[in-house]
């Protein structure tokens, strides 16, 4: 049986409806952003030299807070293992890990930026229903598109490997294509149109092949865009059809419409479609 205290803590930490719960969540978000900022600023040489001591203290201060919070979450959770193994449970744990690891491995403390993932809670916390709705539209389109995107990535991988190897044979070590993995790295840079220019073909044949690759990359960049756009269009249209007037049963209202476009009566409010 859960103690009274566990329940009280649970209400504050996990609750999003009570004023105490809301205030706690807001405080947490500011603490997360502040702790990430501290780590980022500590890597800037000029600031590091002047304020390293302060940054060091602040980082351990935030780590202490998040450690206590994590312990309280485990303590107060009615379904402990379920929380620990949930997405947010793992993120919470990984967020405090780098600070402790930095005692043994230099450099690992910078990985506390994964704390940023915790901010994703902001949407759940602040009941930003509209944003959740939009996020859902995006997520559902992505889910519909995932197989096509995966297929597309397989094609890109095969293409970059074949083109990369060809360039390795054509250009060779002396022109910067020192190995096939490096040539594949170049092929990815070229096909995604990033184009650093740290490795570039020097021979006429290599430049011709590179130009062909760019034109191919130029067309296949259109494929993921096409996939996502087409799925988004379906999803947005469905979203419009979902909003039905209770009086005249007209559908196809915009996401931000308040009155029915046929009979002018008030539309039902959009439900809280948050993912639980």
Q: Report the residue from 5, 20, 68, 158 that binds a second copy according to the rule CB under 8 A.
A: 158
The size of the chain, in residues, is 276
Options 195, 203, 247, 263; binder of a second copy; rule CB under 8 A:
195
Q: Minimum distance between the CB of residue 42 and a second copy, rounded to whole angstroms?
A: 8
- From the list 54-62, 66-74, 76-84, 133-141, the region that binds a second copy by CB under 8 A is 133-141
Q: Which are the contacts of 95, defined by CB distance < 8 A and separation ≥ 6?
A: 32, 66, 112, 114, 115, 117, 118
Does residue 254 touch a second copy according to CB under 8 A? yes
Contact between 116 and a second copy per CB under 8 A: yes
Among 12, 185, 250, 262, binds a second copy (CB under 8 A): 185
**Tokens standing for 10?**
């649970």
Nearer to a second copy, 62 or 168 (CB): 168
Alpha carbon distance 118, 174 (integer Å): 47
Would you state the structure tokens that stand for residue 268, as one six-digit string? 């039902």
* 273 binds a second copy per the rule CB under 8 A: no
Residue 149 binding a second copy, by CB under 8 A = yes
Interatomic CA distance for residues 225 and 276, integer angstroms? 29
Closer residue to a second copy in complex, CB, 72/111: 111
d(CA 141, CA 236): 9
CA–CA separation, 183 and 161 (whole Å): 8
Interface with a second copy (CB under 8 A), residue from 22, 127, 148, 262: 148
Report the alpha-carbon distance of residue 233 to residue 141 in Å, rounded: 9
The nearer residue to a second copy, 22 or 182, going by C-beta atoms, is: 182
């Amino acid at each position: 049986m859960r103690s009274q205290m566990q329940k009280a803590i649970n209400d504050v930490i996990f609750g999003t409806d009570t004023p105490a719960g809301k205030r706690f969540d807001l405080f947490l978000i500011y603490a997360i952003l502040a702790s990430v900022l501290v780590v980022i600023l500590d890597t800037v040489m000029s600031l590091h030299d002047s304020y390293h001591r302060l940054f060091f203290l602040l980082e351990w201060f935030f780590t202490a807070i998040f450690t206590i919070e994590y312990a309280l979450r485990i303590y107060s959770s009615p379904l402990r293992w379920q929380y620990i193994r949930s997405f947010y449970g793992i993120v919470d744990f990984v967020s405090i890990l780098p600070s402790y690891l930095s005692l043994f491995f230099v450099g690992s403390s910078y990985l506390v930026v994964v704390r940023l993932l915790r901010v994703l809670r902001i949407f759940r916390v602040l009941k930003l229903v509209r944003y959740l709705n939009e996020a859902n539209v995006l997520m559902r389109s992505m889910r519909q598109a995932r197989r096509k995107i995966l297929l597309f990535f397989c094609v890109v991988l095969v293409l970059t490997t074949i083109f990369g190897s060809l360039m390795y044979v054509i250009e060779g070590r002396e022109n910067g294509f020192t190995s096939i993995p490096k040539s594949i790295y170049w092929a990815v840079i070229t096909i995604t149109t990033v184009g650093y220019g740290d490795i570039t073909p020097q021979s006429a044949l290599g430049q011709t092949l590179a130009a062909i690759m760019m034109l191919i990359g130029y067309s296949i960049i259109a494929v993921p865009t096409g996939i996502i756009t087409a799925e988004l269009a379906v999803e947005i249209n469905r979203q419009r059809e979902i909003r039905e007037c209770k009086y005249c049963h007209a559908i196809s209202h915009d996401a931000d419409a308040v009155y029915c476009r046929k009979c002018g009566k008030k539309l039902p409010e959009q439900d809280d479609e948050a993912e639980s």
